[in-house]
Amino acid sequence: MNEGNVIPKAADAVASSRKALDDISTSATQTATMTRDAIKESYQGAKQALSETVARGTDAAKTAKDYVEAHPWVALGAGVAVGVLIGAIARRR
């Protein structure tokens, strides 16, 4: 083996290894960035969907409250009817 060729070959191997590591690092960074962005977008979508769901639930509760305040006897009758129906179904089982 020629000693004069060993050092340049080792230097080339080190340079090739360094380039490969740099490429892997760049790829990993890009993948992590894309993953972070996807998670962030998903989180924002879920946050907005939850906010809309809470708003609809709040509106439904307010509507029900207003109806019961305006028609207490109808609401009471409906509650009694539902209770009797559930009791009848439970008794049959």
Tens of pLDDT, residue by residue over 56-67, are 999 999 999 999
Q: What is the rounded CA–CA span in Å between residue 33 and residue 45?
A: 18
Give me the residue spans of the domains in the chain. Answer: 3-92
- Kindly report the pTM of this predicted structure: 0.54
Query: What's 71's DSSP letter?
Result: -
Please write the tens of the pLDDT for every residue from 31-45.
999 999 999 999 999
Q: Is the pLDDT of residue 3 over 80?
A: no
Structure confidence by residue, pLDDT tens digits, 11-38: 888 888 888 888 888 889 999 999 999 9
Q: Mean pLDDT, the chain, as a whole number?
A: 90
Structure tokens at 93: 């089982």
CA 42, 45, 51: angle at the middle one, nearest 5?
140
Are 75 and 66 spatial neighbours (Cβ–Cβ below 8 Å)? no
